[in-house]
Amino acid sequence: QEQLVESGGGSVQPGGSLRLSCAASGSIESINAMGWYRQAPGKQRELVADITSGGSTTYADSVKGRFTISRDNAKNTVYLQMNSLKPEDTAVYYCNAVMGIRKQGSRWPVWGSYWGQGTQVTVSS
């Protein structure tokens, strides 16, 4: 059973830092893009940052210069280093990965988009 497990959320004061991690597991043949999304109460889920298997990154304008996404392909893990946190960064953060999964009876991997369970980040004084 393929899954993404996130860790590292919590509560922090404005200006503080947190580091989120997300590890993918299962019968993974390959992982394409990995990314972080967030959803604040009453708002739609939005992209925070993503990274391709080759290391190309994309950031939301609101986090540029403060957040850094990285990945360890050997560990099937993506990270989000969040610095200079603001109250408006408060949200549930979700990990996403586009993965090719080995399926019995299939010659080729089956590709799909997978989500983690979410981790709460609260920025408050």
In the block, tokens 């996130």 appear at 6
pLDDT tens sequence across 31-70: 999 999 999 999 999 999 999 999 999 999 999 999 999 9
Mean pLDDT on 113-118? 96
Does pLDDT of 1 surpass 90? no
Judge whether 92 and 118 are in contact, CB under 8 Å.
Answer: yes
Q: Which of these, 35, 39, 40, lies nearest to 22 by C-alpha position?
A: 35
Judge whether 116 and 5 are in contact, CB under 8 Å.
Answer: yes
pLDDT confidence tier of residue 95, bands split at 50, 70 and 90: very high
